[in-house]
Amino acid sequence: MNYFVIVDVTLREGIADPEGATIERALPALGFTGVTNVHAAKSFRFEVEATSESAALEKANSLGERLLSNPVIENAVARLAPGNRA
């Protein structure tokens, strides 16, 4: 069957995040105070044909590591999206 999956691609710790920093600097001008530690990330949604949830996640994680992220600077973690049949 098909599983709905999301892969989150985030910057590794210690890697500069100019997008997150720029967003954080813009917040006070918009009246948002008390918002700190802003990080920018990407997420990818897709459907995976697999025989089980764990097989679907394994495939998605492999895809995340090999294509969706650059392991030098990013982590990729797959999770099941809402909407999967129990």
Binding residues for other proteins, rule: CB under 8 A, are: 14-16, 18-19, 22, 67-68, 70, 72-73
Backbone angles phi, psi at 67, to 5 degrees: -130, -50
- Which residue lies nearer to other proteins by CB, 4 or 20? 20
Give the C-alpha separation, 50 to 62, whole Å.
14
Give the C-alpha separation, 65 to 18, whole Å.
22
Tell me the closest approach of the beta carbon of residue 5 to other proteins, in angstroms. 17
Give the C-alpha separation, 81 to 73, whole Å.
25
Q: Answer yes or no: are the C-beta atoms of 11 and 76 closer than 8 Å.
A: no
- Which residue lies nearer to other proteins by CB, 57 or 68? 68
Tell me the closest approach of the beta carbon of residue 49 to other proteins, in angstroms. 21
- Which residue lies nearer to other proteins by CB, 61 or 84? 61
